[in-house]
Amino acid sequence: MTAAGRHAGRVAVVTGGAAGIGQAFAERLAAEGARVAVADVAGAERTLELIAAAGGEGMAVHCDVSSEDDVAALAASVSERFGPADILVHNAGIYPLVDFSEMTFEQWRAVMAVNFDSTFLLCSELLPAMRSRGWGRIVCLSSTAFHAGMGGMVHYVASKGGIIGFVRSLAAEVGDEGVTVNALAPSLVRTQGTTADPRAFEAVAASQAIGRTQLPGDLDGALSFLVSDDAAFLTGQTLVVDGGRVRS
């Protein structure tokens, strides 16, 4: 169930929106009235089709979120087409599995660049306009992997923990300017690109209060709330949406 018009007049940027969780976010925001810019290194044609089918307006921008130049070009393209972004949903991320004993610094840096450095780059480009207009919503994707401390993913878990710290601190700086900054933390989500062993889905589902595998559609309602006027007094938080695996 969506609330038509909930985000009418807003401009949203969704990173990693070509598929999976980001695609679900883009479709939901478009259905609720936002004009949506989909940023990804992959083609986003299917997401644009879903946006159009939802009655929305979208655009796709090829963007490596770890590139300062690409992120600057993204901000400029969105502003030229739709105007400055009101909403940033930073969903893009990578999650290669590798034991720490075999991890190279190059592998560590690659994950940190895409998952964490990108948070700084995107906010540096998009936040100033939000502050100047006195309204903005930033939601970055963390993960319950941070709470679980999963092995074989030290770089990934560290990047997702960094996001939690980032949103807490940035929220303190911009809270009086009409801008909220939060994190959304899912569990293991089944998407087109998920590479986890099928047995991992079974094990995770068994540890949840709601004992089934999480899907992208389980997250878009929470996302829609966080970027709405209804969440104007909620900031600096990490909203865990994982079927009750982490109960805090």
Q: What is the pLDDT of residues 122-132, one digit of tens each?
A: 999 999 999 99
Is it the case that residue 2 has pLDDT exceeding 70? Answer: no
Sign for the CA dihedral angle at 237, 243, 245, 247 comes to: positive
User: So what's the pLDDT on residue 190?
Assistant: 81
Q: Which amino acid is at 29?
A: L
Calculate what percentage of the chain has a pLDDT beyond 70: 95
The tokens of 56 are what?
A: 């929305």
Please check the confidence at residue 51 and state whether its pLDDT lies above 80: yes
Q: How does residue 245 score in pLDDT terms, banded at 50, 70 and 90?
A: confident
Strand segments (E) across 76-130 = 87-90
The predicted pLDDT at position 15 comes to: 98
DSSP code of residue 180: E
Higher pLDDT, 209 or 103: 103
Residue of 10 and 215 predicted with greater confidence: 10
pLDDT per position as a tens digit, 169-224: 999 999 999 999 999 999 877 887 676 667 777 777 777 777 787 788 889 999 99
pTM of the model: 0.93
As a whole number, mean pLDDT of residues 39-64 equals: 97
Tokens representing residue 108 in the block:
């560590």
Contact yes or no for 29/7 (Cβ under 8 A)? yes
Cβ count within 10 A of residue 47: 26
One of 3.40.120.10, 1.20.1290.10, 3.40.50.720, 3.40.50.140 is the CATH number of 11-241, namely: 3.40.50.720
Query: Residue 152 corresponds to which tokens in the numbers above?
Result: 């074989």
1 has pLDDT over 60: no
Give 40's strand partners.
Answer: 62
Q: Measured between alpha carbons, how far is 17 from 33 in angstroms, rounded to an integer? A: 17
Whether the predicted pLDDT of 87 surpasses 90: yes
The predicted pLDDT at position 10 comes to: 98
Kindly tell me the burial class for residue 110, based on how many C-beta atoms sit within 10 Å of its own C-beta (0-12, 13-18, 19 or more): middle
Residue 248 confidence (pLDDT):
61
Residue ranges with strand state E in 47-92 = 57-62, 87-90
CA gap 18, 41 in Å, rounded: 8
Q: Where are the domains of the chain?
A: 11-241
The DSSP 8-state label assigned to residue 40 in this structure reads E
pLDDT mean over 140-167: 87
User: Which residues are part of the catalytic machinery?
Assistant: 156
Per-position b or e across 166-196, b if 16+ CB within 10 A of its CB = bbbebbeebeeeebbbbbbbbbbbbbeeeee
